[in-house]
């Protein structure tokens, strides 16, 4: 452990991040974003059909 690490204080207990957690985090923000994108695409399509 380096000096700067010691002065940083607490660390996470886990050594590596589970890939599932990374996937879940991206899903959490990706799903609403995909919903918004889809709704906007539907709205934008009126430009070509309306």
Partner 1 sequence: MSRLDKQAIVAGPGYSRWLIPPAALAVHLSIGQVYAFSVFKNSLVASFDTSLTAIGWVFSISIVMLGLSAAVLGTWVERSGPRKAMLAAALCWGVGFVVGSAGIASGQLWLLYLGYGVIGGIGLGIGYISPVSTLIKWFPDRPGLATGMAIMGFGGGALIASPLSNRLMGVYDPDFVPTDPGAVASGSALAQTFLTLGIVYTAFMLVGAALVRVPPGHGDDSTAEHSPGTNGALVRASQAIRTPQFWLLWVVLFCNVTAGIGILEQAAPMIQDFFREGGDSTVSAAAAGGFVGVLSLANMIGRFVWSSTSDRIGRKPTYVMYLGVGLVLYLLLALFGSSSTVVFVALAAVIISYYGGGFATVPAYLKDLFGTLEVGAIHGRLLTAWAAAGVAGPLIVNGILDRVGEPGNLVAADYRPALLTMVGVLAVGFVANLLIRPVSDEHFDHDAHSANEDRIAARQEATR
Binding site for partner 1 (CB under 8 A): 2-5, 7-17, 21-22, 25-26, 28-29, 32-33, 35-37, 39-41, 43-50
Distance of closest approach, residue 20 Cβ to partner 1, in angstroms: 11
5 contact partners, CB below 8 Å, separation of at least 6: 11
Distance of closest approach, residue 48 Cβ to partner 1, in angstroms: 7
Instruction: Look up residue 35 and give its two tokens.
Output: 């919903």
Distance of closest approach, residue 10 Cβ to partner 1, in angstroms: 5
* Residue 19 vs residues 23, 24, 34: alpha-carbon distances, Å: 6, 9, 21
């Amino acid at each position: 452990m380096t000096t700067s690490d010691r002065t940083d204080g607490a660390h996470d207990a886990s050594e590596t991040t589970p890939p599932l957690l990374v996937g879940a985090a991206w899903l959490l923000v990706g799903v609403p974003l995909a919903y918004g994108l889809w709704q906007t695409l539907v709205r934008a399509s009126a430009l070509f059909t309306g």
